[in-house]
Amino acid sequence: VYTGCNVENSSFGLTCCAERVALFKAVSEGEGDFLKLAVVGQENTSVLPCGACRQVLFEFTPDITIITLQNNRIKSYSLKELLPEGFRLQGKRKKDKG
């Protein structure tokens, strides 16, 4: 289990969402196979990954399941439901060894 938090910045484009923080932390520690991502927020809010997070997740792990709490009910989505036409360069992403 890897956790993350939003790292806010005055320039919103430089903010790093919790989903990417957790993913990058796991990758930096040698992980490469991801099955599920749980996303939670403040009480009574519905939280799903933003477009940037969806694209990054797609490049690392297109078959991941996203789990979230919506209206006090646990819901799960495939990443393909949330990003049906994700962009990928030719070939599969390879982890850097370094």
Which residues are catalytic, by number? Answer: 19
Q: Detail the DSSP E strand segments found in the chain.
A: 36-39, 65-70, 73-78
Burial 18-30 (b: 16+ CB within 10 A, else e): bbbbbbeebeeee
